[in-house]
Structures are given as C-alpha cells and as structure tokens.
A and B are shown apart, each in its own frame.
Chain A
C-alpha cells in the first residue's frame, strides 16, 4: 500500500473529512454533557489554553495582541487534570454557575489542515460557542481555534487546544463552559 499523501489530493480530503467529523462529534458530546466520554477524547498530555486579548497597535498585534500561554495570565492555560476537576465540579449539582444547566451549542467551522506530522495533525478552525441561561442570559464566545489531534490505536485524541477569543473584556459574566 502506498504511503498516503496528506499534502494534496484524495488522501488529504479524506483526512480532512475524518478529523472534521471527529471535531463535530466531540462538540456534540460537550453539548450533551457526556463529559466522561468527552474526557476520553483528550490525550493525557492535553493542554488547553485561552490567552487574554489586548488592544495594541497594528504593528504589535502579532507579537503583543494576546498574553502568552505558558507564562502569563490567560482565561485558561491548563492540563487535562484541571479540566477533569472542572468536569467534577459540573457534576456536583451545586455548581450554581451551571445550575440550572445552560443550553450550549458548539459550532466549529472553517476547518483546515495546517500541518501533518503523522500521527499528529494540526488544524485551524473557527468556533462559536452559544450559551443560553435561565431565560434571557445569552452569550456568544467567538474566535479562532487551533487544535492538534493525534491518531492512536484508540482513535483520535486532542493533544493541544489553543483558542483566541475575540474579546478583550469578557462580555459574559463567567466562563463556566468549555470553549
């Protein structure tokens, strides 16, 4: 069997189709609050980062437009073990920020393969996370997302998720949902 050519042609399209479907299915698990199944899709070395955005000059936008994951304050910058704590908190039944439960939809679009370094694939996409709470409390979290997926014997796993939320001041009162 010839080695797949992920740089172009049918192999690339098939791969894009496969990883896109994985991302959509993952989004469904989140929105259906099937957190245990969702956690299984995160690699043990998973890292989740959402830096803060800042108003800076045009010339600095690429270098200073957001805080640095790994050393500066971010909305999120954490390993899987912290994500697991968050899931546990949601399940307590007394996590008031999500009691009663919010209605959440994760939209993932503009999915594109940035790089293939088998068994890892780097993806670029856009996200729109919609949350509706209680009655009229409605939040939109929108921005750019970069995911690194890894193909394992146990299927695809998310290794790295890095999101650039398009807000400097968070216009929602909290971030009690996963972006």
Chain B
C-alpha cells in the first residue's frame, strides 16, 4: 500500500496507441482553413475530453463564492463535476464530486456550507475539517467500518479525489488535473495583464473584486469552441450580430449610446486598437496600448466613482510603468472568456457534446463600490449579458444555427475560412504574442487558438507543449516580411530617383 493520499494526484492516463487522426492536420495555418470536423466530429470531441480538458488550466469559480470555512460551490471541469471548497484554515480546494465507493455525486447542491459531505448512497462521509482528517476531502466516516472492512480500509487512500494543482489568482480560482502541467503563471504568461484588469478594482487596487451572487447557466446547441472563439477576438461579428441592440442603445450613456459605453470621442473603432494573440492560445480583442477611459454615464454618482477610479488607476499604473489598456473581451485558453470593462464578467463554456454546451456567466463588482454603483452595474449586466441579455441573445442564435447548418455530411467536407489578416500580423512588446493590424477584422487570435488546441488534442507531452511554444515563429515571419518590404521599398526608391 502506498503512503500518502491517492485522493491526491490524478493517475496518469494509460499510454494509448498512436491515433491515426491528427488534430494538427485539421488546422491549416498556412492557408487559414480549419476543418469543420474540429467542431462536429465525435472522435475529436472525445479526444478533447481526454487530452485537453484534464490537462489545461480551467476556471472553477471565484474565491468570493466561498468566503467562509465550509463554504462550497459546485462546478465542472470538462466532463467532471467538482466542488470548490474552503476548509477551516481558509484554504481553497477543488475536489472531484464523485464518491470513491460507487461514484455517487456526493453533492448535488449548487452551493452551501458544510464541514462534511455525506454520500447519499451508502453514507461514506468526507470531511473538510483538517483536525479530523489529514487533508480536507479525506474519507472520515464509513458505516460498519469494523464489520465491513475488518477495520482495515485505508481511509487516507479513499478520500475525494483532490485536484493536484489549484491556483487562486486574485480571487479567480483555476485548477488543473495534471500534476505535470506547466505552472499557472507560465501557462498564462503575459496574458496575465488582462486577468489583472478583470480581477483588480476599477481603480487598479489588486484583487479588490467580488462576484455578484447568482451564476447564469444555460444550454446551447453548439460547440464550446464557438463560444471561446467569439470572445477571443471576434470583434468582426459585432456590427451584424448585435445590430439590434446597437440600434436601441443600452449602455452607460443611455438611449442611442453605444452598448459598451465607450466615450464618443474614442469610440469602438479608434486607431490604435489591435487584437493580441498569444502563442499558447490565449487571445484578446484589444491591446494594452488601447487606453480607453471609463464611460460617461448619465448619473452623476456614476461619473464621480468612475472618473475617480480612472484617475487613481492611471496614477497607479503610470507609476508602475504599465499601460492602461487590456479590457478584452478575451479568452484564456481553452474555455474561460471574460471582459474586464463594461460589462465586467466571466464566462465558461462547459463542453457536453460536440453540439451541446453549458454556458456559465458570473458578474464582478468592486468590493468597495457604493450601493448605487453596485446596483447600476447589476442592472446593466443583466440587460447586457446572459441568455436574457439584449446583446448575448443574438449570439446564441448564430452559434446554434451555424451548428445546424455545418454538421451535415456535405457541409463537413468544406473547411471554415480563417484567412482574415493572414500575413499582416504585427509585432508586439509582449512575450510570444503578435497583434492584428486591424481593430475589427483579423483572425490571428483564432488561428493561434486552434493551433494550441490541436497540440493538446494530439496529446503532446508537457515537455513538447512547453518546447513548441518556447518561441513564437509568427514573430520571425513578421520580421522576415518587414525585411522583404524594406528591400522592395529601397529598390523602388532607387528607381524613382
């Protein structure tokens, strides 16, 4: 019998025979074409479940959802239900919500407070009290322990399976089932600036945010990657998909003003806005240098709060030598999307099948926001996002009917087009990142996302995954292109003179 707790690491998946289907062959970066099988093929979906989700860093919930000892929040990581819990010492744990005896879902409540999860099936109980068990989540009570197991059941080895890697980034709780996975901060890289803007207060105070109580959850009949890709940098869809809400105007400025509340003089199309695409799959619809002030509101108390917040943030970030942009929308690879501005919200696309996804949406507010500001944000968030939100309603229509019309046998023979901005990428100051050369069009983010996706789905080892993304070959291509352009220009110059 091994020592230590097997409730702990996730056992390594058994070695598998070389899969004849290579996800990388379905993603053609040279010509910007991606096979529809990526979205609708059941085998591909099964490989995602096996090779991607149990190895990627996934957003599980917000620390403010479990503020007190014994608090828990039910969540999902890929195909597995998990519990985000807080133990007596304030530690945060992520436990597989499946009894070690016959697998019963130990907890079917969405949230609550308990120091002990007792399985309804045969009543094995698991304790969150570190004074009773070795590690919170360990097996504590077993009915008829003496008679049934001659007292020999090794309780330490039969606790709830504990996720080996959990990272609380300023209240955003991420977890990874793979012990050997890259550390969270390496996985995130320079994309962390967007997470900072999400997690920090509007005035830049680190981590001073919390979520409103209540997570919007809804089912859609489309692939989870449609959702990730949408927030990753698809600003191209806004004008058409959201034409109706844009015509009505639901933003901070009131009727007729833009829905995100950009100030009129800066607009949504101001020069300087470029998308940011990271080699390891993350992407944002903007760049750090796109420094757009908080909106102008109708209500004086809102302007007071946000003018002050912007001024404080500017002072703080200037002192740190930081740029003020980076509010997204953005997607952290693979399935956590967010926007760090108006609205400020997190979305997770939980995969159910190739053509079904459960979408969850959280809304954030500054911890110290005064009541009128909180309430204004809450109402704006609800009329903007989620299935009842006037903006988001129309996204689901497009995703679902794109799915219906894409999954036919003939339709699946024809790839999707990802050629926007191909060969026009721009250099970035950020590590292993490039920019689009246009604010609205440009599918560079999606191309990088599916490239990383295929590397995971093809089950490259962590050594390979890290090695392959150690440098960004897109940067070399841009430099080569620029050199060639310089040569051409110089030649043209000679001819002219």
Contact = CB atoms under 8 A, between A and B. Distances in A.
B392 interface: yes
B400 A173 contact: yes
Contacts of A76: 382, 388
B261 to A, nearest CB: 15
A134 B249 CA distance: 27
B216 A174 contact: no
B119 to A, nearest CB: 15
A52 interface: yes
A96 B216 contact: no
A8 to B, nearest CB: 40
B397 A72 contact: no
Interface stretch (B135-143, B161-169, B240-248, B423-431): B240-248
B284 interface: no
Nearest to B380: A82
Contact of B397 (A89, A92, A174): A174
Contacts of A97: 393-394, 396-397
Interface in A129-173: 134, 137, 168-173
Interface residues of B, number: 45
Contact of B109 (A52, A57, A88, A92): A57
Interface stretch (B218-226, B413-421, B455-463): B218-226
Contacts of A86: 390
Contacts of A54: 109-111
B320 to A, nearest CB: 33
Interface stretch (B16-24, B40-48, B207-215, B486-494): B207-215
B243 A92 contact: yes
A89 B390 contact: yes
Contact of B244 (A57, A77, A94, A137): A94
A173 to B, nearest CB: 4
Interface string A88-103: 1100101111000000
Contacts of B202: none
B383 A73 contact: no
A35 interface: no
A25 interface: no
Contacts of A52: 214-216
Nearest to B401: A134
B266 interface: no
A93 to B, nearest CB: 8
A78 B382 contact: yes
A95 B112 contact: no
Interface of B is mostly: mixed
B408 to A, nearest CB: 15
A73 B216 contact: yes
A173 B244 contact: no
Contacts of A6: none
Contacts of B396: 97, 173-174
Contacts of A55: 74, 108-110
B217 interface: yes
Nearest to B240: A94
A82 B112 CA distance: 33
B358 interface: yes
Given A56-B112, A168-B217, A173-B218, A75 B388 contact: yes
A19 interface: no
A1 interface: no
Contacts of B390: 85-86, 89
Contacts of B109: 54-57
B393 A73 contact: no
Contact of A169 (B214, B219, B381): B219
Nearest to B361: A73
B381 A73 contact: yes
A176 interface: yes
A105 interface: no
A92 B213 contact: no
A78 B379 contact: yes
Contacts of B397: 96-97, 173-174
A96 B387 contact: no
A71 interface: yes
A148 B108 CA distance: 35
A75 B386 contact: yes
Nearest to B243: A94
A67 interface: yes
A75 B387 contact: yes
Interface in B194-240: 212-221
A170 B110 contact: no
Contacts of B112: 56-57, 60
A39 interface: no
Given A72-B213, A72-B214, A74-B382, A175 B244 contact: no
A88 B212 CA distance: 28
A173 B386 contact: no
Given A86-B390, A89-B248, A174-B387, A74 B217 contact: no
Contacts of A94: 243-244, 247
B387 A71 contact: no
Contacts of A72: 212-214, 378
7 contacts: A55-B74, A55-B109, A57-B109, A71-B213, A73-B363, A94-B247, A169-B358
Top-9 shortest CB links A-B: A73-B214, A95-B244, A170-B218, A175-B388, A67-B214, A97-B393, A92-B244, A173-B396, A174-B387
Interface of B: 74, 108-112, 212-221, 241, 243-245, 247-250, 255, 358, 363, 375, 378-379, 381-383, 386-388, 390, 392-394, 396-398, 400-401
